[in-house]
Amino acid sequence: MARRLLGEVNDMSELRELYQEVILDHNKKPRNFRVMETANHHADGHNPLCGDNVTIYLSIEDGKIADISFQGSGCAISKASASVMTTVLKGKSVADAEDLFNQFHELVTADSSEELDADHLGKLAVFSGVREFPARVKCASLAWHTVHAALAESEKPVTTE
């Protein structure tokens, strides 16, 4: 329904690319949105420009992400990104998670003229629209930077600055 309404608005194709239904859905009903008491890794992330903040909780067993959850508040892009990220990373190995972190970063910061190889990105491809909105790249990548820090057991809070 949101997509049809977007279509009524004057040339909203780019907005439609950014605020796809999947993103709006994950914003409204974020997955894995809870504190994890049994987490063995966690990190806090903060986007000082706009006030997005996120905490990522991880339960790592035998080099695999057995469980992942998040808490935080922020814009639709940051919340949806964190939510989709948790669904994608659950069950993945730490090595795969690092790999996806790099791929996601490339996805949202790539030159918009570059061809997008969305196939191996799966669900993450919904964030391809962010590349048209440079001001929102930090919103989309905050959760990923934070998980990266949680995996590296970094002590300092993460920011996207």
* Strands 41-47, 64-73: pairing kind: unpaired
CB of 25 to another protein, least distance (A): 12
Residues near another protein, by CB under 8 A: 2, 5-6, 9-12, 14-15, 18-19, 24, 27, 49-53, 73-77, 133, 135-136, 139
Q: How far is the CB of 3 from another protein (least distance, A)?
A: 10
| Whether the Cβ atoms of residue 53 and residue 157 lie closer than 8 Å to each other | no
- Comparing CB distances to another protein, the nearer of 67 and 72 is 72
CA dist., res. 19 & res. 129, Å (int): 8
CB of 53 to another protein, least distance (A): 8
In whole angstroms, how close is the CB of 96 to another protein at the nearest point? 30
Q: Decide whether 15 or 39 has the Cβ nearer to another protein.
A: 15
Q: Least distance in Å: CB of 23 to another protein?
A: 10
Give CA–CA dist 94/90, Å, rounded.
10
User: 102 or 109, CB closer to another protein?
Assistant: 109
Q: Give 1 or 37: the residue with its C-beta nearer to another protein.
A: 1
Q: Nearer Cβ to another protein, position 73 or 87?
A: 73
